[in-house]
Amino acid sequence: HTNKALQVRNASQADGAEVVQFAPNGSQAQQWSLEPRTCVNPAPPTVLTVSTTACYRIVSRLSGKVLGVEGGAMDNGGPVRQR
């Protein structure tokens, strides 16, 4: 564990902005909320599946955009961006 926070690079509000780990600083670029969503099978790339009956989207407080794995990739190391 790095003890770093998830942050939108350069506090961007643009679609496709990269999300990186960064030293915690309390900025809105590091603040996120979980929004409950109806689960589908399979879950779309912008939905975090906690269990088979609970799914969430991770939403940036700064931009209101959701996290998603670029291109819906399922491989290790897939880049995460806001959209």
Residues of the chain below pLDDT 70: 41-53
Say what the pLDDT of residue 45 is.
Answer: 64
Say what the pLDDT of residue 15 is.
Answer: 94
Quick one: three-class SS letters along the chain? CCCCEEEEHHHCCCCCCEEEEECCCCCHHHCEEEEEECCCCCCCCCCEEEECCEEEEEEECCCCCEEEEHHHCCCCCCCEEEC
Say what the pLDDT of residue 1 is.
Answer: 76
Tell me: the pLDDT tens digits for 25-48?
Answer: 999 999 999 998 887 766 666 666
